[in-house]
Amino acid sequence: MKHWNRRSFLKASGVSIGLPWLESVNAFASDAAVDRASGGLRPPTRFAAMVFPNGVQIDDWGGTGEGENFQLRSLLQPLEPFQRKLTIPSGLWHERLEQRPGHDGKTSGFLTGIENYKLDGNRLKAAVSIDQLIAQKIGNETPLPSFCLGIKPDTTTQLDLIPIFRSYISWSSPSQPAPKEIDPRFAFDRLFADGDRQRQNKSILDAVLEQAHGLKGSVSSADGQKLEEFLESVRDVEKRVEKVDQPEKARWQPSTPPANLRRPAIRPDDREPHTQLMLDMIVLAFQMNKTRVATFMFDNGGCTGNFSFLAGVTEEWHATSHHRDRPEIKRQYETINRWHVAQLAYMLKQMDSIQEGDGTLLDHSMILMGSELSDGNRHTAHNLPLILAGGGSGTIRTGRALAYPEHTPFARLFVAIAQRMGVKLDSFADATQPLANLA
pLDDT tens, residue by residue, 304-317: 889 999 999 999 99
Helix or strand run (H / E) with residue 49: strand 46-52
* Cα(423)–Cα(194) distance, integer angstroms: 32
In a domain, 392, yes or no: yes
Identify whether 115 is part of a domain: yes
- Domain match, 265 and 131 both: yes
Is residue 426 assigned to a domain?
Answer: no
Q: Tell me, what CATH number does 334's domain have?
A: 3.40.720.10
Q: What is the domain extent for residue 166?
A: 44-187+261-420
The whole-model pTM stands at 0.80
Q: Are 226 and 352 in a shared domain?
A: no
- What pLDDT, on a 0 to 100 scale, did the predictor assign at position 279? 96
Domain count, the chain: 2
pLDDT digits (tens, 9 = 90+) for 256-297: 666 666 788 888 889 999 999 999 999 999 998 899 999 999
287 and 410 housed in the same domain: yes
High-pLDDT (> 90) share of the chain, % = 50
E-only strand ranges, 158-292: 171-173, 176-177, 252
Q: State whether 153 and 197 are in the same domain.
A: no
DSSP-derived 3-state class of residue 71: strand
Rounded (5°) CA angle 333-336-338? 110
Q: Work out the number of other CB atoms within 10 angstroms of the CB of residue 259.
A: 8
